[in-house]
Structure 1
């Protein structure tokens, strides 16, 4: 058993080292970044919203100021059964920008983001969609950068980089900023560089409608519709592109309890995708061996937390029950755990690499605190796995979507425009 745990930790550790070294010294692929002017295709932009009265106005107003041609862009806020002032605020913004926004007020139907997107997709007539969450604020050039890769007919989905905008709120938001940097700046871009499996994210990503339809459309029985779609597109022969310069600004959790609930939802959705697509991925002869291995390791990242916790328990048992002659493997295991996965995708050395690439080196002082975030994430993920294996199978549990709390509050009336966020942390090539 100890050997299996050590093997898994070794594989993931080497994976993080490879990604970090690639970002520091390897060839960087930004194949569509040079497309600045073109005959841009029409696109529908979904803004997923459920009780988002505090943030929906900011998102819509920022979308009014992007540099994509207004006549080629349909903005559709997907107001999914909101019970607060979300509809009122959307309609007020619509009145200020006549002809620019086509709201979809969904008053019934199956709960969940994927179900709402499924209904909204049936209403559009464009060949492409871009999906945002309501708390996200796009940079000025974001839509153009997300649409550029679609000139390649093999591209089925595009993912941009997520940057927290409420970094200065407290220690947690600063740690999440580091985690996001490692996960996108290093992990996602390295997988793009190496021709592996970039992951489509359902908060700042684009989809080709024909690709979506070819793999069965939105599945409304999943908690992580983006991970599910990533692997259905991969198995269907479509490429997913990560664009590191397509930045969008998000609101990260400012409370540890909220963070734990968010992690648990992501973990359950990711593990659901592992069960559904892991076997088919490993057996797919159209994919290369390295691509299949990377895709499977990406699916398995949330299973590593229970394995790590199990390794800790196993190490303690060995410490008190075995002789020093056989204690060396346990000590080696502890060394590996000290450098193992942090949060979702990033590792400690990936975060340091990302800080260096972002040229914001003051943030490195927080690296010692990231172990705190790791412990919280590991406990939340392990709890989610136990719930998924035991409690979620009980009658009456069913499908449950746990909405993330918002902290931003409106600072302007509907008549007062809010300036467009345009600050970028993406400096390096």
Structure 2
């Protein structure tokens, strides 16, 4: 249960920050944002602030910002249709009701002759069968009623597709970008607490019960030589020790301005390649500096971005074991293992997942942010947009492919889970 709660919190944070990026830039670009949703499926909570409804939905597997113009408007007023309207003191239409008219006795009723909710923003019709044609201007923030809920109309200049290429590009790019910002912030917090790793030839925390502690080494000792070999960095220390498992080594140590010789027997552990490597039970030294933490936050984020692309390159070239691909189940299990190791590991894991979400979303695949950016770039090169129907079809096919891939990866997760 603890793992489930942590997973929901982590993914809720990653998704909410991602969608917040889209929302902020869209609003600053003048795009009408109808809904900011965390999760999919039935609504658990909804509150309206300004033009946007903020919702929390049942399935915590994603989120979205519903921007006007991304999809065809669902509300349409056709000639001959009977509607009810409400007017403001300037005789402008502020509300349009197209069904269940009997529930709105205070409305003004008419039969529509023509209605333009997109550019001209006017409505004409007849209040009586043989009466005169009456025309009303429609307020830019007028609403229409659907299923007893009011939704704001979207004039053409408030729609996503009407905005300049750069505004649309930045609106889409802002989601993955905010995930990278989140990763930087989390890493800065992590390094501010834990300290920034230093490459100085000193010992960090000495672990009780291991060789370093048993043979008298203490945190802060500066290592000058090992077996007569000069030491200039932490990497020199770690590299030399790892190559000498279960061997006696002699260190020249500087402590409080004095030098002394300490002989110790190294321990042994299994390395990343499965071969034994030496260890003495000390951590790398750290620097506690906020300025250093900021630098480390950016460099660590860059490191994981680079590693993501290395992994993608291996996946394309065939050098990556597909059995190592993880879906929701795999990520859940990995998160459980991380949670058991403590808060600092959870922070690192969250930042890594945030980078992963950003990079994956920027891939030029249909249905992802990267695919949508490719259509915008193609429009810039072509000089005109792709037909909306064709773009929607491509994204639909891409989404279906991603769902199939997700099912296959989840099946792989389950197989790995039950074969361990």
- Structure 1 length normalisation: TM-score? 0.20
Higher helix proportion (structure 1 or 2): 1
Higher strand share: 2
Q: TM-score, normalised by structure 2?
A: 0.20
Larger Rg: 2
Q: Which has the higher contact order (CA 8 A, sep 6+)?
A: 1
